[in-house]
Structure 1
Amino acid sequence: MSSIYEKYDLKQVINASGRMTILGVSTPRQDVVDAVEYGLNHFFEVKDLVNKTGAYIAGLLNAEDAVIVSCASAGIAQSVAAVIVKDDANLLVNLHATQLTVPDEIVLPKGHNVNFGAPVGTMVALGGGKVVEAGYANECSAAQLEACITPRTAAILYIKSHHSVQKSILSVEQAAVVARKHNLPLIVDAAAEEDLFCYYQMGADLVIYSGAKAIEGPTSGLVVGRKQAVEWVKLQSAGIGRAMKVGKEGILGLTQAIESYLALEKTTGQQMVEKMTPFIDNLNTLNGISARVVWDSAGRDIARTEISFDESIVGRRTTDIVESLKTGDIAIYFRGYRANEGKIEVDVRSVTAPQLETIYLCIKNLFTGEGNA
């Protein structure tokens, strides 16, 4: 039988942009695939499966409880709904049609109100919440966060992400102090983060992770936190969570992925540097192009290649270069957040050495007229 690419006339993709949803995020290990297959081929009492896998994961993470959801975005929406609805049975099924009299404002730093592929505000609204921005786009202190708290505040939301503004923003620990002072839950969206322990330990009541990013599980999400708050999230399976349900295969796949993730040795940033060094050396032979190692802006141990184009020499805008490499015979995707500045980044975590050579040749060929490799 022809490959899936041939069957559906799909392009092969080189993912040099990282664990990105638009490219399918990651490629799970075989033990995760086996767990997914087992889930697909067996029946379970789903509520029991949810509760017991959640308890198992919580034990692994030294937390009070956990629940697997369909994705990190669903985790945000259901966590917001959870802290608004709590255990109100009538509001649970009428959140969409009720004029709320309970607190429904979700306070977050203005620099955290980002678009990660969809707006944070959309997820908050799906959960029945209203975003209240604290501070400014380039600054939010604990005092500025606290100043936005009113009797209508339902929770504080903190987005731990490279998408968020990093400078002059209070830490998770500082946000937790404010939350405790006002007896409010703190929700931390840590979708792509690699540390599954620290944010809960810092004082968050609910911490949300993508199952398919750092953990390299199936499409799924994890919410870990305080038992009462997690129980409220679980109740949302009869509310807005019904439209975001995760299958038995996803539950078992992510549970196995978390267990393996905690046991396996992680690839270090220095190992990434070693992997990309020949690639950088090759790029630096090209006229008008320079490359160097840069480190993750959110502080993770992730090294990437930054490629800078001198547009006056190469004769093309960097945004056009990025588009050309996406639309070639092989679709090559980069981290293009700074393409307007003439810079792109290559994330090597999901790229093989031969693929790095292909990327180099495709960039080189753009300026020699030989086309995409």
Structure 2
Amino acid sequence: MGIFKTMGLREIINASGKMTALGASAVSDEIADSLRKAAQDYVDIDELMEYTGKVIAESTGAEDGCPVVGAAAGIAIATAAVIAGENLSLIEKIPDTAGIRNEVIVQKGQLVHFGASIGQMIRIGGGKVIEVGQANKVEKEHIEQAVTEKTAALMYIKSHHAVQKGMQPLETMLDIAQRYQLPFIIDAAAEEDFQKYIRFGADIVIYSGGKALAGPTSGMICGKKQLMTACRKQYKGVGRPMKIGKEGMAGLITALKQYPFKSSNTEQQMERMTALCRKLEKIDGLRCSIKQDEAGREIYRAQIQVDENKTGFSAEKLLYLLESGNPAIYLRHHYVNVGILSVDPRPLLPGQEDSIAEAIINIISEGKKK
């Protein structure tokens, strides 16, 4: 029996992805063991912080790294680092940065809500958000014309939450940042390739430790050595209330060392989702197909189109009933407003796709009897 079930909490079948609201990832035995051992021992935190930074650097190809408690904290700490650097007096003033270089340029379609606001994370780090362009269209000129003597950095949000069409590509942002000698920050929280953006030329890249990495609740910043030193220095300021502990760092290190040996299991994903679709398509009013992740990652989900006129249930109602059960089944619901639900195979335990199909079929069958 799982630990949360012993507390009287509902069992969860997570088919929505590596979602913070559901605890992100279930870690491997090796990572869990490192968490336990770290919790039962002592260490000089500054030394562990620097050692973790070296492991992050080895894994990402960056000059150095800084562990954080999550990618959201990484945005705040990275923002503070480009504004205050290693200047302790400025570090202690953040988020009050009036009168100093503090503007962070972000494309309007990328100022999204990921469970909280990207803009708020920047402001916590002392940044003044300068959003450029429109929600569905940004021109290169929008970005260039926003650069002033107050600009501290350019930031790009690589996320399925962000608008994918009409935004300027990474190449444009990097070119502008380099021409104006400004730091270029990429929030790549859920991305799977930990070396891609450093090779690309970014100065700072932020990742979650609990998503693609499948580590504990944690995150990492990687990039130029001077900037990473500045990131670690923010723990004397705004980073203090969001500090990562010894357990998080130990688990992050173990996850990073395991990552090169992980398989994306693409074929297995597609096999499991194809089997799920075959079962669901026997129900009148359900259409199921396999779709690749919106942001281009090697993730293949089952996409379920719900025809309310035939099933008797809207996608919203079906989602509600699934989440209300025990076990509670959480599907991916970014497009529930247009009748689409998705199943992400990555967090599913063996056989849970069968439980999902059975639950959906039972709900619709019972509804038709009434």
Q: Give TM-score scaled by structure 1 length.
A: 0.95
The residue number in structure 2 matching 1:74 is: 73
State the alpha-carbon separation in 2 of the partners of residues 313 and 102 from structure 1.
60
Q: Which amino acid aligns with 1:184?
A: L
| Post-superposition CA distance 1:307-348 (Å, at most 9, x none) | 001111112221111111100121111111111101111101
Q: CA deviation at 1:198?
A: 0.7
Q: CA deviation at 1:73?
A: 0.4
User: 8 Å contact 1:172–1:199 — kept in the other structure?
Assistant: no
The residue number in structure 1 matching 2:238 is: 240
Q: Does 1:212 align with 2:210?
A: yes
| Post-superposition CA distance 1:59-100 (Å, at most 9, x none) | 23221000111110000001111111112211111224x452
The residue number in structure 1 matching 2:294 is: 297
Aligned CA distance change for structure 1 residues 230 and 5 (closer, same or farther; 3 Å): closer
- Stretch deviating more after TM superposition (59-68 or 252-261): 59-68
The residue number in structure 2 matching 1:324 is: 321
Aligned CA distance change for structure 1 residues 22 and 43 (closer, same or farther; 3 Å): same
Q: CA deviation at 1:274?
A: 1.2
Q: CA deviation at 1:305?
A: 0.4
State the alpha-carbon separation in 1 of the partners of residues 325 and 311 from structure 2.
19
State the alpha-carbon separation in 1 of the partners of residues 158 and 169 from structure 2.
9
The residue number in structure 2 matching 1:351 is: 348
Q: How many residues align structurally?
A: 368
State the alpha-carbon separation in 2 of the partners of residues 370 and 316 from structure 1.
8
Correspondence for 2:225 among 224, 227, 231: 227
State the alpha-carbon separation in 1 of the partners of residues 4 and 65 from structure 2.
37
| Post-superposition CA distance 1:178-198 (Å, at most 9, x none) | 100111101110000000001
State the alpha-carbon separation in 1 of the partners of residues 20 and 126 from structure 2.
25
The residue number in structure 2 matching 1:160 is: 158
| Post-superposition CA distance 1:137-180 (Å, at most 9, x none) | 11223332222111111111110000001112222222111100
Q: Does 1:342 align with 2:350?
A: no
Long gaps (5+) in structure 1: none
State the alpha-carbon separation in 1 of the partners of residues 6 and 32 from structure 2.
22
Q: CA deviation at 1:40?
A: 1.1
State the alpha-carbon separation in 2 of the partners of residues 69 and 223 from structure 1.
7
The residue number in structure 2 matching 1:37 is: 36
Aligned CA distance change for structure 1 residues 152 and 259 (closer, same or farther; 3 Å): same
User: 8 Å contact 2:323–2:329 — kept in the other structure?
Assistant: yes
State the alpha-carbon separation in 2 of the partners of residues 368 and 56 from structure 1.
53
- Stretch deviating more after TM superposition (165-174 or 304-313): 165-174
Aligned pairs for 1:157-306 (under 5 A) are 157-268=155-266, 270-306=267-303
User: 8 Å contact 2:66–2:228 — kept in the other structure?
Assistant: yes
The residue number in structure 2 matching 1:59 is: 58
Aligned partner of residue 114 in structure 2, secondary structure = coil
The residue number in structure 2 matching 1:141 is: 139
Q: Which amino acid aligns with 2:316?
A: T
Q: CA deviation at 1:11?
A: 0.6
Long gaps (5+) in structure 2: none
Aligned partner of residue 365 in structure 2, secondary structure = coil
State the alpha-carbon separation in 2 of the partners of residues 315 and 106 from structure 1.
48
Q: Which amino acid aligns with 1:347?
A: D
State the alpha-carbon separation in 1 of the partners of residues 279 and 308 from structure 2.
19
User: 8 Å contact 2:285–2:307 — kept in the other structure?
Assistant: yes
Aligned CA distance change for structure 1 residues 115 and 290 (closer, same or farther; 3 Å): same
Q: Which amino acid aligns with 1:22?
A: A
Q: Which amino acid aligns with 1:265?
A: S
Aligned partner of residue 240 in structure 1, secondary structure = coil
Aligned CA distance change for structure 1 residues 189 and 329 (closer, same or farther; 3 Å): same
User: 8 Å contact 1:176–1:203 — kept in the other structure?
Assistant: yes
Q: What RMSD over aligned residues (CA atoms) do the two structures have, in Å?
A: 1.5
Q: Does 1:131 align with 2:104?
A: no
Q: CA deviation at 1:5?
A: 3.6
Q: CA deviation at 1:354?
A: 1.9
Q: CA deviation at 1:36?
A: 1.4
